[in-house]
Structure 1
Amino acid sequence: MTPYQITATDVCLFLVAVFLIYKISTNRKSNITTKLRGPPSRSWLYGLAGVIHDAENPGVLFEQWSSEYGSVYSVSGFLGQQKLVLCDPKAVAHFYGREGFGYVKPPMIRFFIEIMFGRNLAWAEGEFHRRQRKFLTPAFNNSAIRDLSHIFYDSAHRTSSAWDAILEASDGSSTIDVQNWMNRISMDSIGIAGFSHDFGAINGKPQVFDAVDLSAGATFFAFTVMVATVFPVILRLPSKRKGGLAEMKRVFSSIADQLLSKAKEHKNEEDKSVMGLLLKSETDDANIHMSREEIIAQVCLSISGYETTSISLTWALIELCRNVDIQNKLRKEAVQYGNSDPTWEHVNSSLPYLDAIVHETLRMHPPVFETTRMATEDDILPLSTPVMTKSGETVNSLFIAKGTVITTPIGTLNRSEQFWGPDAKEFKPERWLEDSAPRAKEIQGHRHLLTFIDGPRTCLGKTFALTEFKAVLFVIVRNFAFEFPGGSDTVIGKYRGSILPRPKVIGEEGSQVPLRVRRV
């Protein structure tokens, strides 16, 4: 008997059948959710998902569509699935205010978090998330971060010493891959501050997770993500990229397990670090009891947090190379402290230009571009600006049906000319020293940015990240000058072979950002 061969026609017929079943099953929801205008679909199969994925800067697309179709509009995805895009500040505030209860991560996103890290704080939803967050908050409050600030300075100074050795072996300047070094700083900082463990990255100790390649199978992975928005079961299919994520989880879990065992040997009941709090959750009388697997998942998440800060530091150095006058102005502010490091209070209140550069970097280059959630129940979404529905009616609010997928494009709102003015696409720290963007105040969130999102799931490590960012940038810019080896024409692109997209110099291998560094 000849084995049956699947033909292209079979595949097309199958997709058509799936499409019809999907449309019938979602017809009731489509009739309830307010139907909005939006850009026309480019493909009956992929909708606009491929266009968005391939765009160099999706934020520009979202902003163009917002100006054409209104502050809230609809975009089509795989098999015509509709997703609402929120560019209205009142709608965004309402959305974030109900995140974790009224709006939760779609199954696809939770699945990938579980693959990478396990069932941790980022994976948890609802009351379980609230209790976990409350339990871990003491490790990230202002008092705790004040006591940790010396660790950030120490990491920066150890890096400075390593760079001095490199420069002494050359003619006083050298080309250094700064992204690699920002990774080292952030990894050692989170290790010591959160777990009393020095990973030794700054001293050159190999980091096993650096060898995990997430770039393999990127095309098939992108297709899987599109399909999974409608059929989450496809996530169970094997792929090279998913295998890379699973390998990263294995590596992180191995590190977390070692840290946990080490911490138990030196347990301190007064320890309020991340690890100290997690160890307390193992006791019988703990307010929140976590299994060993859950504790390891929390440690994996905390370790992975190094990436957001290292990305932000790298973007800051890139922008300082693009704007030498800004770099010199920051250095002039920093050298006023001589060889001393500012206190935690001073770094947060007495260095206005450093603060401006840090927040301008976070505005221009948020490590996470968007927030996508699914409604768990019917809801009314308020609007600050009326929008026109698909039928031509003008409305001041939208009815959201249970199951509706909603996206807030963080990168778009952070750089929107409507809220930040005509120079919104420019790196301009001075905007933080003057009241030049009054409409930005309509956006809730830290300093009117959505980089740390908003609401009950605001980034728990926000103060940790800001303090580390400022301390490290202060030290290295005070001691060193940076420029592009290839001159001002250097082109910066995106590297997607990591958990989050990273900047890279076009033409360089991987995520390298080589800069010419010299002592000042």
Structure 2
Amino acid sequence: MSLFSALYESRWLLVCATLVAYLVYKVWVYRRLSAFKGPFGSGWSELWHSATTISTDAHAKYKEACDKYGPIARVGPNDLVTCSVELLTHMSAARSPYSRSVWFARGTRTRPGEDHLFSETNENIHTRRRQQMAMGYSGKENLELEDTVDVYIKKLIQLIRTKYLSTPDSAQPFDFGQKAQYLAVDVINDVGLGAPLGDLDTDSDQFRYIETTEAGMKLGRLSVSLGLVFLLQSPWIARLFGSSGKDGLRFAWPLRHARARINERLRHDTEKRSDMLASFVRHGLTAEELVNESILQLVAGSDTTSTAIRSIFLYLLTHPCVYAALQAEIDAAVADGTAPPAPGIISETAARSLPYLQACIKEGMRVHAPAGSPFPKRVPDGGDTVVVDGKPVFLPGGTNVSVAMFALQLNKGIFGDDAQEFRPERWLLEKDEKKLAVMNRTHDLIFGYGKYQCLGKPIALMEINKAMFEVSSVIFSWVRAKD
């Protein structure tokens, strides 16, 4: 009897054995995290987690899971989500054995097989790359950083004053969200590549850059949600979508643009200059590494910064009392010389000295965090025991643990019963120093923590501080003139 015949005769036995083995495996997987509760079916199937990740309101669904099931909730057979400050800081501490989860990190690659700072899961390579790039992001080797940001703040103000101020005879609709994106894109392109795209000059999405990168992010979210990362990262699929930097769909344009700018700079002794790209070259990044990192900073830097600016202004304009208090502080700052009169731009140091402005910025970013992605970390092999709310909790090795950022920032135990309300005064009136320290520590997690903290934080906050002060000043002066 041939092997094929024997297998055929035993087909039902093989089917039954396979089903039994599968059920045993599923039970084993379920029991690993059975101590953690979550949405219906999340312990047995990826369905809930995939549907949540692919949706546009994943941040809200993760918050609901933590609100209902506790500071650590189960959202998949091998996935947890947490809003615990202790656990999040523990996972990201400088010497933490945790690493980025492959299923998510690989989905952020811009080219198949090519990692950047965010997608790198090898901790040794990640640490070395952060060290190479830290000085450039900090501004210590980019002496023109603040002057560069000022240039584009002035362009934004000029655009508003010349094109979008309404008069008694004519109302000018103004999409501030769009202009905030133009500002962020121009700033990060100049800071990162040495030249803007010209969005503010033309009042348009030059080369459809924003449209293209948003489409790329949607594709990335789709691939992560459906488990298609490794398929879409294959070279032949990448060529189809242009993510290899070759001709294809228009996802390739940002890569070609970055490569062209980098190659041009490298031909002109760029390491002798004082900007971010020159700093990266001095610290050993190759041309290909520069391309990978530039796409990361252009997409991530512009999207999160513009989101923060838009959300802060949204809450300002819908809270008249806050608006009036900030107006009074800005007027006083100009009157006493803390800020220069127009067309001068306030310095970052001066902006940070204004307590109510800082409270508005912190509160706006807290109530609507700029990034709601899960950013999962992998529990080290062998598992780990952590203390959450004073109780020891064991996490099995290989488990993915994500952050529920909105649950974290809207935590009533940390920010009070009105945690979901926009109230900047909470940062100024809190008398309990210990509680205020916890609030600040929690807020800082918006930018990550420890070995995973966002290197672009100094640039983002500089841009946000200046934009908030100067655009608010323009709006206030226009309102006074109208009155």
Same fold? TM cut 0.5: yes
TM-score (normalised: structure 1) = 0.74
Residue equivalent to 2:379:
375
Asked if the contact 2:86–2:387 (Cα under 8 Å) also holds between the matched residues in 1, the reply is yes
- Alignment TM-score, normalising by the size of structure 2: 0.79
Alignment partners' CA distance in 2, 1:99 and 1:406? 17
The structure with the greater share of residues assigned to strand is: 1
Match of 2:201 in 1: 203
Counterpart residue number, 1:312? 308
CA 60–421 in structure 1, closer or farther in 2 if over 3 Å, else same: farther
Q: Distance in 2 between matches of 1:117 and 1:299?
A: 16
Partners of 2:17 and 2:210 in 1: CA distance: 43
1:268-306 Cα deviation digits (max 9, x unpaired): 44434221023335xxxxxx4x44222111111122211
Structure 2 residue 245 is matched with structure 1 residue 267 = no
Give the aligned partner of residue 355 of structure 1.
Answer: 358
Report matched runs for 1:67-82 at 5 Å.
67-76=67-76, 81-82=77-78
Is the 2:37–2:69 Cα contact (8 Å) retained in structure 1?
yes
Alignment of 1:12-411 (within 5 A): 24-25=24-25, 35-41=35-41, 45-49=45-49, 52-53=52-53, 58-59=58-59, 61-76=61-76, 81-97=77-93, 101-115=97-111, 118-125=114-121, 126-141=123-138, 143=140, 147-167=144-164, 171=169, 173-204=171-202, 206-212=206-212, 225-228=224-227, 233=230, 235=232, 243=241, 247=249, 250-280=252-282, 288=284, 290-304=285-299, 305-335=301-331, 336-337=333-334, 338-339=341-342, 340-348=344-352, 350-369=353-372, 370-385=374-389, 396-411=391-406
Matched-pair contact (CA < 8 Å) for 1:91–1:381: no
Q: Which moved more, 1:268-277 or 1:208-217?
A: 208-217
> Which shifted more, 66-75 or 402-411?
66-75
Aligned-residue offset at 1:441: 3.8
Q: Deviations over 1:34-70 (max 9, x none)?
A: 7323332279655422663587755554445435433
Cα distance in 2 for partners of 1:291, 1:23 equals: 49
Q: CA deviation at 1:474?
A: 0.9
Q: For 2:179 and 2:19, locate their aligned partners in 1 and report how far apart those are by CA, in whole Å.
A: 48
User: Could you say if the C-alpha distance between residues 360 and 117 of structure 1 is closer, same or farther in structure 2, counting changes exceeding 3 Å?
Assistant: farther
Cα 1:222/1:207, change in 2 over 3 Å: closer
Higher helix share: 2
The answer on whether the counterparts of 1:363 and 1:449 sit within 8 Å (CA) in structure 2 is no
Deviation at 1:105, TM superposition (A): 2.6
The SS at the match of 1:381 is: strand
Give the letter aligned to residue 84 of structure 1.
L
Structure 2 unaligned spans of 5+: 1-15, 335-340
**Structure 1 CA distance for aligned equivalents of residues 481 and 185 of structure 2:** 24
Closer/same/farther in 2, CA of residues 152 and 222 from structure 1, 3 Å limit: closer
Counting aligned pairs with the same residue, the percent is 17
Question: Deviation per CA, 1:306-353, whole angstroms, max 9, x where unpaired?
Answer: 1111111111221122112222322222233233433332122x2111
Structure 2: distance between partners of 1:358 and 1:462: 14
The alpha-carbon distance between structure 1 residues 482 and 417, as it changes in their structure 2 partners (threshold 3 A), is: farther
Q: Aligned partners of 2:116, 2:216: CA distance in 1, in Å?
A: 26
Moved more, 100-109 or 355-364: 100-109
> Structure 2: how far apart are the matches of 1:49 and 1:31?
18
Paired with 1:464 and 1:217, the residues of 2 have a C-alpha distance of 22
CA distance in 2: counterparts of 1:168 and 1:59, whole angstroms? 35
Whole-Å separation in 1 of the counterparts to 2:28 and 2:302: 44
SS in 1 for 2:454: coil
Note if contact 2:410-2:419 (Cα within 8 Å) is conserved in structure 1.
Answer: yes
CA distance in 1: counterparts of 2:477 and 2:62, whole angstroms? 33
CA pair 21-356 structure 1, distance change in 2 beyond 3 A: farther
Amino acid at match of 2:296: L
Q: Is the 8 A contact 1:440 1:448 kept in 2?
A: no
Q: Say which SS state the counterpart of residue 425 (structure 2) adopts.
A: helix
TM-superposed deviation, 1:196: 2.4
Provide Cα deviations, 1:78-99, integer angstroms capped at 9, x if missing partner.
xxx2322222222222122268
| 1:401-428: CA deviation from partner (whole Å, max 9, x where unpaired) | 3321111111110111121111110111
- Work out the CA distance in 1 between the residues paired with 2:417 and 2:326: 24
Q: CA RMSD in A?
A: 3.9
Contact 1:187 1:201 in 2 (8 A): yes
The CA deviation string for residues 381-437 of structure 1, in whole angstroms up to 9 with x for no partner, is 322325xxxxxxxxx323323321111111110111121111110111111212178
Which segment drifts farther, 116-125 or 328-337? 116-125
Instruction: Say whether the 8 Å CA contact 1:88–1:384 is kept in structure 2.
Output: yes
- Give the letter for the 2:313 counterpart: L
1:422 and 1:346 mapped to 2: Cα distance?
33
The CA deviation string for residues 105-161 of structure 1, in whole angstroms up to 9 with x for no partner, is: 323431332449942111223011111111111112264577422322221221221
> Relative to structure 1, is the Cα distance of residues 418 and 169 closer, same or farther in structure 2, using a 3 angstrom cutoff?
closer
Shift in alpha-carbon separation, 1:55–1:301, aligned structure 2, 3 A: closer
Establish whether residue 476 from structure 1 lines up as the match of residue 471 from structure 2.
yes
